[in-house]
Amino acid sequence: MAVLALWQRETIYFVLNSDKIQIKSADEIKSALLSGDYGPVEDRGGVLRYRVLGGAVEVGVTLDRTLCRLDAAFNAYGVPVGGVPDAVRKAQFVLSPYLSPPEVKALSVLIGAELPGAVTSAGIAYSRDVGSHTIVVTGSMDTGDMAVTVTDNTLGGTSP
């Protein structure tokens, strides 16, 4: 147990201090997105748009000095996931332009623990603050259509 705690100490720190999770700067995000690792990224009127996970997830990002707004849309039944370790690896990849690896893991733990309480037969309605940003997850359990929105509370978010 002590070895696991030492190995994952940064992740544990962010789980225990979720208010310390901070989204990277706009320059870091833009640099990561334009690195080529995320496929083609189009600039449509100031909104960076790209698709990940074999095109299963469509993302739109508005940046200023920070992340103003992120909108992601996907069908949960269409995202290729082969178990929990694969899901964590894919979350790490998708979120790496925005968060450090320990922050992604911590956020995965926190959301994984909280999300089931936000799921009803009518759908999903989940919200969590991360630093100065708010993450909102909505979706339909019937269709699997999901939307994730991240907005900067200090800017009010800019709609893509």
Say how many domains are in the chain: 1
Spatial distance between the Cα atoms of 10 and 7, rounded to a whole number of angstroms: 8
Tally Cβ neighbours within 10 Å of residue 5: 10
Cα separations in angstroms, 159 against 68, 73, 87, 101, 156: 9, 14, 28, 27, 9
**Two structure tokens written together for 126:** 């989940």
pTM of the model: 0.86
160 within a domain of the structure (yes/no): no
How does residue 1 score in pLDDT terms, banded at 50, 70 and 90? low
Q: What percent of the chain has pLDDT over 90?
A: 66
Range of the domain at 86: 2-152
134 within a domain of the structure (yes/no): yes
Q: What is the pLDDT of residues 29-56, one digit of tens each?
A: 999 999 999 999 999 999 999 999 999 9
